[in-house]
Amino acid sequence: MNNNIVVAIDGFSSCGKSTIAKALAKKLDFVYIDTGAMYRAVTLYFLRNEIDLTNQTQVETALSNIHITFKTKDGQANLFLNDEDVSEEIRQMHVASNVSKVAAIPAVRHAMVKQQQLMGKSINIIMDGRDIGTTVFPEAQVKLFMTADPKIRAERRYKELVVKQPDITMEEVFDNLALRDHDDTTRKESPLVQADDAIVLDNSYLTPDEQLAFALDKITPFIKA
Ligand code: DC
């Protein structure tokens, strides 16, 4: 590993990983890389091009045609898929409901991990995902593993979703989160597991400011060293 600092943030869905990652990147002037967005972009490409997920050749050809970059626009890190800004579209339901199948394909994971390792090779980064501290950067100087009470996570997610989907129920949101936790932790390739040397950050009862202070306390010794 070079002299640059890598902060790996892993954890369950809807735990607030990206909120803390963005706040840390801004405070420390590090580059933020949202790896979930990369898997979502691959999913979008596969959907648009009707790629058969069981056809290895089709998957590999598609992967070789996918170029993902992050560009800062209006203070936000936007994701470009082959030079098209797809930051909004990758958050939509058609992508969300297909991404875990795509993220479980070994060839997809290998391609994304390779790109993520290149992105963090020489600059200070905050990278969030599911396998950053275990697979992408096992040598990361700081590893945070975020978790929160499932009921609290579902309540947070419900509040976000109900604005756009007034018919949604709390039960649906809770069940969807439970399913995603199950998929993330049980898939064969790089399942979500806590790295042995990760620091657990349970944010069930912490404010964003308290979480930021906790994380900064762990990271600053490496910056000063
Ligand atoms: O964090 P998110 O909800 O945007 O992630 C989208 C999907 O990608 C989710 O199914 C988990 C998966 N993912 C992954 O398998 N590995 C990562 N490093 C990041 C996300």
Model pLDDT for residues 4-59, shown as the tens digit of each residue: 999 999 999 889 999 999 999 999 999 999 999 999 999 999 999 999 999 999 99
Note the pLDDT tens digit of each residue in 108-138. Answer: 999 999 999 999 998 999 999 999 999 999 9
Note the pLDDT tens digit of each residue in 75-106. Answer: 678 999 999 999 999 988 789 889 989 999 99
Token duo for residue 164: 């756009």
pLDDT classification of 2: cutoffs 50, 70, 90: low
Contact 86, 39 (CB under 8 A): no
User: Does pLDDT of 1 surpass 60?
Assistant: no
pTM for this prediction: 0.93
Distance 225 CA to ligand 1 centre (A): 32
Q: Which domains does the chain have, with CATH numbers?
A: 6-222 (3.40.50.300)
What atom in ligand 1 is closest to the CA of residue 17?
A: 1
Give the whole-angstrom CA distance, residue 60 versus residue 106: 11
Contact 153, 177 (CB under 8 A): yes
Contact 146, 12 (CB under 8 A): yes
What atom in ligand 1 is closest to the CA of residue 18?
A: 1
Distance 184 CA to ligand 1 centre (A): 8
Helix, strand, coil proportions of the chain in percent (round to 5)? 50, 15, 30
